[in-house]
Amino acid sequence: MKLLKSKKRVNYWLRKNQIPLGLTKNKEIIWKRFTFKSDSLIFSARPGIGKSVMLKSFYFWLFQNQRPLIVFDPEGLDHRLSYFPNSHALKLPPETKPWGIKSLDSGQRAYYFTISKNPMPHERKFIPALSTFGIKELRSLGFSPGAIRKFLNLLEEYGPFKDFDTLMDFIHKFPIREDIAERYQRNMPFLLHDKQYLPNDVILSSTKNNLVQHLYSIMQEGIFSLNPEDNVSFIDLIKKGHSVFLSFDGHYDVCRAMVGKLAGEVIGYLKYLEDIGERDTFGQPWFIFEEMDGIIPRNPEPYEEPIVETLAQLILRFRKLSVGMAGACPSLTSLNKKVAQGFHEYIFGRFAGTELTEIASITQENSIISLVNNLYWNRHVNGGAGEREVLYVTELKQKYKIDPFECPCEIHREPTKVKKHESSDIL
Ligand SMILES: Nc1ncnc2c1ncn2[C@@H]1O[C@H](COP(=O)(O)OP(=O)(O)OP(=O)(O)O)[C@@H](O)[C@H]1O
Ligand SMILES: [Mg+2]
């Protein structure tokens, strides 16, 4: 890939081929090597310990190393800030300055997208087109299998619809019995749409209800489009070696559907390159998941099972195509087990109870229990920034207790002071 060849502005850590992670008690620096082999790392720690900061700091270095990143942030709190340099950086790796993730001299760029109604200045709002999702993705949005079949058929037979109102009007009046369909052929009802119902075309009333119910909630949210031309081609950006950051404003269902779509497209592309013997022309892309257990939960709702299973299968194929993966989640017991077991490396914050047994079972290391149980964590010191210790477990099962570095990019901080109102303001 052209981008990988550019050697301009190579900084200290990249020259050493290292990703700095943190300091041991004796102030030794613990780092991880950049590798082009399959690689993956998960940050699991209870809320507030600093997973998001560690995750962001980790992929900051990947980006500097010109890896195309595909970042999924379902809540949309943490990763949209990556664009800005860290304004209060306390503990950055030596030789590192605050820096945002925007672009590299090599030409690689980071593109930020959101489905939120209030994009930040550097973000672009995107509205995925419903018709570009597959059956499993639509199923994960709550549509019944019958409703999906009918919906896709409806778009094919009668589309395009100019807007949701027109589509909803068309579905509302759709005949639910043959006799109604027959009557319509003699006397068509008034329709907002410019096409009419075909003879004998009917919809089951339960299918209609399911379709109306889900389309209605989607319409209220305004997060899907009916027009495939509204779609941004993320895969084209990724193919050019750029990075995409996607935030979903709390919509885990939409995030999950997008993970399915993009993971499928990236795997398809890499598989194609492999088949024509050109896999080495493209660098190693990394998929990054914030709140990963929410995206690929261990105990999904029944209607979410097919997509969660698909995501787990896609992710397990990453290894064969040397796609990297990093994630953050508050507990491994809530993450899909196959996925949790599939990681090469782990970083844990302090845990107690059943979580420890799970950690031992997933890493296959019994000695880890007391180490994880005794990690230090005090959030009340250091001006509210806290003191934290995490355990880094390498692929070779080495274990390092470290005080993690902060991130060069801006981070989402807990407010440390509560602003007091003047008494006159209250009165
Ligand atoms: N290495 C660090 N050095 C200094 N402060 C940090 C560090 N990591 C995190 N913090 C602080 O701790 C707070 C919590 O960090 P972060 O949001 O990463 O936690 P989290 O584990 O992702 O929490 P949640 O589960 O709520 O998402 C942040 O407000 C940040 O200011
Ligand atoms: Mg977080």
Q: What is the tens place of the pLDDT at every residue in 227-283?
A: 766 567 899 999 999 999 999 999 998 899 999 999 999 999 999 999 999 999 999
Q: What is the gyration radius of the CA atoms in the chain, in angstroms?
A: 25
pLDDT, one tens digit per residue, over 216-226 is 887 777 777 77
What per-residue string of b and e applies to 337-359 under the rule 16 or more CB within 10 Å gives b? eebbebbbbbbbbbbeeebbebb
* pLDDT in the model for residue 56: 97
Residues 222 and 240 in one domain: no
Whether residue 241 has its Cβ less than 6 Å from ligand 1: no
pLDDT tops 80 at residue 119: yes
Work out the average pLDDT over 145-166.
90
Q: Does one domain contain both 200 and 240?
A: no
Q: Is the CB of 413 under 6 A from ligand 1?
A: yes
Could you read off the pLDDT of 163-186 as tens digits, one per residue? Answer: 888 999 999 999 999 999 999 999
**What count of residues does the chain have?**
427
Count other C-beta atoms under 10 Å from residue 157's C-beta: 11
Ligand nearest to the CA of 56: 1
How many Å lie between the centroid of ligand 2 and the Cα of residue 43?
Answer: 10
> Which ligand is closest in space to the CA of residue 389?
1
Task: Supply the pLDDT for residue 333.
Answer: 95
Residue 205: phi and psi, rounded to 5, are -65, -30
User: Which amino acid residue places its CA nearest to atom 10 of ligand 1?
Assistant: 50
242 within some domain = yes
- Residue type at 51? K
Looking at the structure, do residues 1 and 102 belong to the same domain, yes or no? Answer: yes
How far, in Å, CA of 64 to CA of 42, rounded? 20
∠ CA 359-41-112, nearest 5°, is 130
* Residue to probe by mutation, ligand 1, list 53, 75, 292, 332, most atoms within 8 Å of CB: 53
- Are 255 and 72 within 8 A, CB to CB? yes
- 146 pocket-lining for ligand 1 (C-beta < 6 Å): no
CA–CA gap between residue 110 and residue 104 (Å, rounded): 9
Nearest CA to ligand 1 atom 15: 50
- Within a domain: residue 51? yes
Q: What pLDDT score does 425 carry?
A: 46
Specify the pairing of strand 69-73 against strand 243-247. Answer: parallel
Q: Which atom of ligand 1 is nearest to the CA of 412?
A: 29
Is residue 45 in contact with ligand 1, taking CB distance under 6 Å?
yes
**pTM for the whole thing?**
0.88
Cβ(356)–Cβ(332) under 8 Å?
no
Q: Residue 365 domain-assigned?
A: no
Block residue for tokens 């209060």: 88
Q: Tell me: do 78 and 193 sit in the same domain.
A: no
Q: Do 205 and 262 share a domain, yes or no? A: no
Q: Is the CB of 52 within 6 Å of ligand 1?
A: yes
